[in-house]
Amino acid sequence: MRKVGIVGIGQSRFGIRSDASLRELSFEAAKASLDDAGIPLDDVQAMVVSVASDELSYALQPSAQVVDYLGFNPKPSFRVEGACASGSMAVRTGWMTVASGLADLVIVVGAEKMTEVSTAAVTDVLGRAGDFMWEYPFGMTFPGYYALIARAHMAKYGTTEEQLSMVAVKNHHYGALNPYAHMRKEISLDKAMSSFTVADPLKLYDCCLISDGAAAIVLASDKLAGSLSKKPVWISGLGLGTDTISLSDRRDITTLDATVEAARQAYDMAGIGPKDIDVAVVHDCFTIAEIAAYEDLGFCAKGEGGKLIEEKRTYIGGDIPVNVDGGLKSKGHPIGATGVAMAAEIAKQLRGEADPGRQVENARIGLSHNVGGNGQHAAVHVFQVD
Ligand SMILES: CC(C)(COP(=O)(O)OP(=O)(O)OC[C@H]1O[C@@H](n2cnc3c(N)ncnc32)[C@H](O)[C@@H]1OP(=O)(O)O)[C@@H](O)C(=O)NCCC(=O)NCCS
């Protein structure tokens, strides 16, 4: 297989984007990524699109709306779907297309428009990403799933509500420095702790945002990457894990086995371990998810995730900076865009181009971790620069 590098990155501003439709958000991100690569769309040979929800976009094949608006006809384009991990699965598909030799230049576009319907409607649609027959009809929602995981983690490992809130404080701190983030404001621990309960023990600030947004990356074979970018960001490890759709069928709900498996594959492929990672973005859809990710990715021992954030070891200057773009919590979580935005963020970090205050100095190896549903899918990617 051929080496594959990221040579272009682009993102729309995340937020309540009543000024732009799904296709316009996609254009914003795709154009930025092509400008960054310094190529016209005509040079690109295939397009992979990630829009996670038909219902939220009110279209049966939302990816076709994007492809048509970008004017990609008649070249190959297709959609990849895996709930909130759709974006990383699209990156993986783009990587496979280039690595296999099918194409030399591929664009991956992720987008979602979520804020035109009520929170109740979004909660209902997302809830159906879980076990549609045995959990959803009995009232399970995503805040509900992660509240169960949080309670189990607290009972087994002594994780506290304060530690959960500390994840939110960190992610809002860095999100405030990110011009593309949905909610750019610092919060205090007290503000997070005293926010209203969404699904006990999770409060408002334990939950990610419901956002509109898009992200895009351009992938090139090693044959072209060097001539298109001064610093191609190589995707050196990919892992994808799958687990039961029903939370009640899981071995242990404090661990996402799909993450453990995906991380094992990605580390093996890249020939590295967790200690080698300079910067990571992880799937903090709820604050407990970030704490579990620290453990499942091997950044600390099982049960020690709460301590890791309490000791600020996932801030810049600590053992491993995590979500210094603001994470899903503050940067926002337009579900189909998230995995692509994660790849773009790590590429930005490894190129040394992140905003002041949130750039990890001399970062050479980065990792992204993206979860679909309540852990049915997890994708872990490793990125490196020469
Ligand atoms: C937490 C949640 C229920 C709040 O929604 P809501 O109660 O409808 O909140 P509203 O949109 O009415 O906003 C109320 C206020 O809280 C703020 N707010 C909304 N969501 C927020 C969040 N997640 N974090 C912090 N503040 C938030 C709003 O900006 C608004 O502030 P203002 O009063 O100063 O304008 C919603 O954000 C949510 O469901 N998040 C999770 C989404 C999800 O599950 N994604 C998939 C994960 S896998």
Question: Is the pLDDT score of 108 beyond 90?
Answer: yes
| Residues with catalytic function | 84, 333
* pLDDT higher than 90, residue 386: yes
Cα separation values, 65 from 26, 49, 97, 110, 239, Å: 10, 10, 22, 13, 29
Atom of ligand 1 nearest to the CA of 335: 46
φ/ψ of 264, rounded to 5, equals -60, -45
Region of residue 42 (phi > 0: left; psi between -120 and 50: alpha; otherwise: beta): alpha
Q: How confident is the model at residue 195, as a pLDDT?
A: 98
Q: Which atom of ligand 1 is nearest to the CA of 143?
A: 44
For residue 187 and ligand 1, the question of a CB distance below 6 A is answered with no
Instruction: Please compute the mean of the pLDDT values over residues 329-358 and round it to a whole number.
Output: 98
Q: What is the per-residue pLDDT for 23?
A: 97
User: What's the CATH number of domain 4-117+209-384, 1.20.120.530, 2.30.30.40, 3.40.47.10, 1.10.3720.10?
Assistant: 3.40.47.10
Pocket lining: 202 vs ligand 1, CB cutoff 6 Å = no
Q: Is the CB of 209 under 6 A from ligand 1?
A: yes
Check pLDDT > 90 for residue 58.
no
Q: Which numbered atom of ligand 1 lies nearest the CA of 333?
A: 45
Percent of the chain with pLDDT over 70: 100
- Going from the Cα of 329 to the center of ligand 1, the distance in angstroms, rounded, reads 10
CA dist., res. 321 & res. 233, Å (int): 19
At 21-32, the pLDDT tens digits run: 999 999 999 999
**Residue 226: pLDDT band by 50, 70, 90 thresholds?**
very high
pLDDT in tens, 168-218: 999 999 999 999 999 999 999 999 999 999 999 999 999 999 999 999 999
pLDDT at 10: 98
Contact 220, 7 (CB under 8 A): yes
Nearest-CA residue for atom 14 of ligand 1: 204
pLDDT above 90: residue 336 = yes
Reply yes or no on whether the pLDDT at 121 is more than 90.
yes
Instruction: Name the residue at shortest CA distance from atom 48 of ligand 1.
Output: 285
Nearest atom within ligand 1 for CA of residue 207: 23
Does ligand 1 come within 6 angstroms of the Cβ of 146?
Answer: no
205 Cβ closer than 6 Å to some ligand 1 atom:
yes
Our answer on whether the CB atom of 147 is closer than 6 Å to any ligand 1 atom is no
On whether the CB atoms of residues 99 and 93 are closer than 8 A, the answer is no
What rounded mean pLDDT belongs to the chain?
97
Helix ranges, 282-334 (H) = 287-296, 305-310, 327-330
Q: For position 267, what pLDDT does the model report?
A: 98
Per-residue model confidence (pLDDT) at position 57? 86
**Model pLDDT for residues 151-162, shown as the tens digit of each residue:** 999 999 999 999
Q: Which of 53, 115, 119 to mutate to test the pocket of ligand 1 (most atoms within 8 A of CB)?
A: 119
Domain coordinates of the chain in residue numbers? 4-117+209-384
What's the mean pLDDT in 71-94?
Answer: 97
Give which of 115, 119, 107 is closest to 26, Cα–Cα.
107
Task: Give 246's pLDDT tier (boundaries 50, 70, 90).
Answer: very high
Residue 219 pLDDT > 90: yes
